[in-house]
Amino acid sequence: MSATINKSGVLAGKVAVITGASRGIGAAVAYRYAQEGARVVVSARTLEDGDHVLSGGINTVAKTIQEAGGEALAVRADLNLADHRENLISTSEQHFGPVDILVNNGAVTYYAPVHEFTEKRYRLMMDVQVYAAFHLAQLVLPGMIERRSGRILNVSSHAAIHPAKDAGGRGGTVYGMCKAALERFSTGLAAEVYAHNIGVNVISPGLIATPGAVYHNLITEETKERETPVEHMSEACLHLVSGDAAELTGLVTYADDIMQQFNLQAAELIAT
């Protein structure tokens, strides 16, 4: 059976903002949320397919959702810029209403050993992967607290796990730092807003053959057996923003773990 939009799905009436949604994980999450009735705001720097070295664009994602019968809005935002972050949330609220779900998936990544890492790239990575998630949360939290309802989901990586001392590496120390900081932010925020019925979780996808992963040479013949379908990530991300917030918050978890723990079956996505 082909994937369809269920306007009465588990996210019916919810407004979801997803960053880094021009391709890969962000686009897959947008499709899955839309299929469950959410009004989806997809954001990234890339508007059109062909505007970036990697394939994909937020206009394409939004159009795919709309043509399937769902509601979607594309809002270009450079997460490194405060006014872009503020415009993303204000535009989302003006178009669809208060934000119920925020998915911080946007990232910029460079790989280089510490002794060669430039200050400019270090600050850019920390700003986009950590501070942007923090600031966007600040922008949506007042409304969530007032309504006593909301979900924030941050996308991390296995890179946050401390490596063995003899593991070597391919220049991913700063990337791991960013994701570790994001995880600690997530659990701290979850504790802060628990009494307000707001769920905050952080999830790592495992190894998914996204355009970005391929570009950074993370996908090889040796990784084939360890790869996770992007549909598993989108299904896990759906589960973490639905149901009772008080019962599912403060998690530092992984897509495959959520799939197994809750016996989930990945749904086909409208873009496939």
Which residues are known to be catalytic? 175
Residues counted in the chain: 272
Asked if residue 173 lies in contact with residue 210, where contact means CB atoms within 8 angstroms, the answer is no
203 DSSP assignment: E
Parallel/antiparallel/unpaired status of strands 71-76 and 101-104:
unpaired
Using CA of residue 163, residue 167, residue 173, residue 178, what is the dihedral sign? negative
Structure tokens at 34: 């839309």
Whole-number Å distance between alpha carbons of 189 and 152? 9
Quick one: CA dihedral 148, 253, 103, 134, positive or negative? positive
What amino acid occupies position 216? Answer: H
66 SS3 class: helix
Nearest to 256, CA basis, from 117, 158, 130: 158
Place of tokens 């952080």: 202
